[in-house]
Amino acid sequence: MTQRLAAALTSLDAALRFLLDGVTPVEPANVSLAEAIGCFAAATEPLRDAYPPFSVAVSDGWALCARDIVGASSYSPVTLASAPAWVEAGDRLPDRCDCVLDADMAEQIGPMFQVLAEVVPGHGIRRAGDDIGAERSIIVSGERIRSLDVLAARSTGFDSLQIRSPRVRVIDVTANDGKTASSRFVLDFARSIGAQATDVQTRGRDIASISAAIGESACDLLVTVGGTGLGRTDMAIEALVASGATLIHGLALQPGRTAAVGKIGTIPVIAAPGTPDQALAVCLALVQPALDFLTGRAPRCEIIRPLARKISSAIGVTEVVLLEQSDESWMPIAAGQLSLEAMTRSDAWIAVPGDSEGYAAGTKAGALSLREKWD
């Protein structure tokens, strides 16, 4: 039996609502600081006290009270009533001291100490609370955890952090030519945005083989790649239905018309076509927002620039357009059909909604980066 698309294609917005209806972000997990880098933070308990809890030296030298050495210079040294305390960087500052004087700014002559320069209060020290105030969190919930965040966590005494990392299962529906490039891309894409992704290849393209792979393990998001079309050996949709999925098959998305979304029980399911450009479009339009929701990620920031060239789009279909940065503008380089060259050149992408015929040259467009940097 050959798969069929619905009589009317479903809009991308409606497909996303159906996909995520009743779904909640995954439960936070506690992981080591090393494991947390690159993941998305869940709520982190704020510091009860300010950090550092007391003033500390940030350089080696003599701990002093700045008021006691006002006017000191090499021409008019100030003699101290008693020897100052020597501190190393990181040491707690002695009581009454509010500065650290470099070693060569003081000299000892017998039992006497002379100071050869004055400094302002706070010189060479970090005051209590200078790093982080009381009741402040060092990690922002929904943000990707960077090595800088882990540095702050270690410094303030944390040895673990709470993250959200969905389990994603990618099923490669064995292609007739044996190629796995698209499924491997989906796997890498999911991992790059904070998921614990695993993959499996079906033994064949028949319903039984695909169904066996679908039922092998639990996950928070299931993505099949390949077999969603109308060819005689395309059986991914039939296999998902046989496995208990409720699906919408046929989306008003270009590329990606034969994609499907749905659920098996409470698990959201995305069925992506197997060609590289359609796999990319489905990842950007469906997998990315689904994982952003499951990780509790903060909203992505659009990069707004004027279009260097007109974008034309058909009414009724959301069209994925790849963009390249050109000076301070966005240059559209591919739409509808996305070549491998365009994919590798692209810096960002935009989805032209189905109720738009496109955008005129010069229109300021908000695009999402394809070259995200987080560390």
Domains of the chain by residue range: 12-26+165-295, 32-47+141-163, 56-126, 303-369
CATH topology of domain 12-26+165-295: Molybdenum Cofactor Biosythetic Enzyme; Chain A (3.40.980)
Q: State the DSSP code for 191.
A: H
* Terminal C-alpha separation, the chain: 50
Structure confidence at residue 50 (pLDDT)? 86
Per CATH, 56-126 and 303-369 having the same topology is answered no
Cα pseudo-dihedral 116, 122, 125, 128, rounded to 10? 150
Q: Taking the domain 303-369, which CATH number applies? A: 2.40.340.10
Dihedral angle computed from the Cα positions of residues 76, 80, 83 and 89, in that order, rounded to the nearest 10 degrees: -60
pLDDT at 364: 96
- The reported pLDDT for the residue numbered 1 is 58
| Strand ranges, E, within 36-166 | 40-41, 56-57, 61-64, 78-79, 85-87, 99-101, 106-109, 112-115, 125-126, 160-164
The dihedral sign for the CA sequence 146, 149, 155, 159: negative
pLDDT in tens, the chain (375 residues): 567 777 789 999 999 999 999 999 999 999 999 999 999 999 877 888 888 999 999 999 999 999 999 999 989 999 998 889 999 999 999 999 999 999 999 888 888 889 999 999 999 999 988 888 887 888 889 999 999 999 999 988 889 999 999 999 999 999 888 889 999 999 999 999 999 999 999 999 999 999 999 987 789 999 999 999 888 888 999 999 999 999 999 999 999 999 999 999 999 999 999 999 999 999 999 999 999 999 999 999 999 999 999 999 989 999 999 999 998 999 999 998 899 999 999 999 999 999 999 999 999 999 999 997 665
Looking at 3.30.390.10, 3.40.50.2300, 2.170.190.11, 3.40.640.10, the CATH number of the domain 56-126 comes to 2.170.190.11
Closest CA to 10 of 225, 241, 256: 256
How far are the Cα atoms of 41, 286, 292 from residue 27, in angstroms, in the given order?
A: 11, 21, 14
**Of all helices (H) and strands (E), which one includes residue 19?**
helix 12-20
> Do 349 and 282 form a contact (C-beta atoms < 8 A)?
no
Q: Are 320 and 339 in contact (CB under 8 A)?
A: no
Q: Percent helix, strand and coil across the chain, each rounded to 5? A: 20, 30, 50
Note the residue count of the chain.
Answer: 375
pTM recorded for the entire structure:
0.86
Q: At what angle do helices 288-295 and 12-20 cross, to 10 degrees?
A: 40
User: For 294-311, what is each residue's pLDDT tens digit?
Assistant: 999 999 999 999 999 999
